[in-house]
Copies of this chain bind each other. A is one copy, B any other.
Amino acid sequence: MNFEHLIDLDDLSLDKLNEIIDMASRISKHPEHYRHACSGKILATLFYEPSTRTKMSFEAAMQRLGGTVIGFDNPMGSSVSKGETLQDTVKVVSGYSDILVIRHSRDGAALAAAQASLVPVINAGDGTHMHPTQTLADLVTLMNKAGRLDNLKIGLCGDLKNGRTVHSLIKTMCRYENNSFVLISSPEFALPDYSKDYITDSGASYMETDSLKDSIGGLDVLYMTRMQRERDVNAKESFNILDLETLRLGKPSLCVLHPLPRVDEITKDVDADTRAVYFEQTRYGMYARMSLILNMLGKGLGIEKDQSSEIESKTLCSYSNCITNQETYLKRLYEKDGKELICRYCEHRTKSKE
């Protein structure tokens, strides 16, 4: 297969990433220039897990490029309920379409789909693993509203422990020069150590605090995230809420982002403040997806993966939500790291038994 998939934003070179962001910005200024760019092309959306917002963003993106959309968002209505494997479904649907978007509750499902697909695959969220187009939306928003992707002091607030979008944004922003991070959360929802190590290893810096009020003043960017609902009741006390009073302490040039949906971590009256760019962010997300689709159907992503260290093993991945534990016919592919195996699908570590 001589085409490429977008499973993880890190697979892109920095040059290519910037090219996609720049094109998204150009599209946002003159979307009408691109309205026939993909005419005659079909995007297939395989949403094994419902996500209306992400699905509509992709649908609007494809339609604004002149293309059309097929797909499902209810696996029970699909052949899946007749016992079909993920890879068989992907083989069939990729035969109908020109580009394929998959969302799945299992980590690694996007790579499994890419192995079987006849057309380029975009990962629209695989379990808690990756959601690269959300991060791409964040980057296009920052470039347009903060004016740059480097030399930014970025506050991350809320559930930093479980927030997939937070981990992905950190990883990507570490690729740009001189960014620093302020991690704002209660200890219970602190950023995991491997993410902190990632920051340090990349040469960037971070500080931790439990108070948004105390830290907002120094920030260029504030990235708010949603708390898990079921935890709200007990955690409310230690909750950092962005209200107008707190926002008043922020710089005039501050940009407030949020991957949405929000619940009550940002009060509604903040919406009217020009620094609140989270609704524009969803629109930049559409332009980001348009740019990505155009690149993937056009000159490609230029991904060069070094697979020389990849090994096949009989060892089962120890992470129960890994796609290899559901779709058991998949080749178990790992990268060896000392006595541990890093799963190529979900990136979790398993002790080698061989």
Interface residue ranges, A against B (CB under 8 Å): 32, 35, 40, 42, 44, 50-53, 56-57, 59-60, 63-64, 68, 70-74, 76-79, 82-85, 88-89, 91-93, 95-97, 226, 229, 260-263, 268, 279-280, 282-283, 286, 329
* Contact B261 A88, beta carbon cutoff 8 Å: yes
* Contact B279 A84, beta carbon cutoff 8 Å: no
Q: Considering the chains assembled together, what is the distance between the CA atoms of A135 and B67 in angstroms? A: 30
Contacts of A97 in B (CB 8 A): 60
Contacts of A51 in B (CB 8 A): 77
* Contact B74 A70, beta carbon cutoff 8 Å: no
Q: What are 13 A-to-B residue pairs whose CB atoms are below 8 Å? A: A50-B76, A50-B78, A51-B77, A52-B78, A53-B78, A56-B70, A56-B71, A57-B96, A60-B70, A63-B68, A85-B268, A95-B283, A268-B329
Contacts of A263 in B (CB 8 A): 82-84
Question: What is the distance, in angstroms, from A18's C-beta to the closest C-beta of chain B?
Answer: 24
Contacts of A329 in B (CB 8 A): 268
Q: Considering the chains assembled together, what is the distance between the CA atoms of A279 and B51 in angstroms? A: 28
Question: What is the distance, in angstroms, from A135's C-beta to the closest C-beta of chain B?
Answer: 18
* Contact A82 B261, beta carbon cutoff 8 Å: yes
Contacts of A79 in B (CB 8 A): 52-53, 260-261
* Contact A84 B261, beta carbon cutoff 8 Å: yes
The answer to whether A95 and B279 touch (CB under 8 A), given A32-B40, A52-B79, A261-B88, is yes
Contacts of A44 in B (CB 8 A): 56
* Contact B35 A40, beta carbon cutoff 8 Å: yes
Which of A70, A78, A226 has its CB near the most chain B CB atoms (within 10 A)? A70
Q: Considering the chains assembled together, what is the distance between the CA atoms of A262 and B71 in angstroms? A: 20
Which of A74, A261, A282, A286 has its CB near the most chain B CB atoms (within 10 A)? A261
Q: Considering the chains assembled together, what is the distance between the CA atoms of A60 and B71 in angstroms? A: 10
Closest B residue to A93 by beta carbon equals B56
* Contact B60 A92, beta carbon cutoff 8 Å: no
The answer to whether A77 and B78 touch (CB under 8 A), given A40-B32, A56-B96, A95-B282, is no
* Contact A52 B72, beta carbon cutoff 8 Å: yes
Q: Which of B76, B83, B89, B262 contacts A88 (CB 8 A)?
A: B262
Contacts of A77 in B (CB 8 A): 50-52, 73-74
Which of A44, A68, A76, A263 has its CB near the most chain B CB atoms (within 10 A)? A68
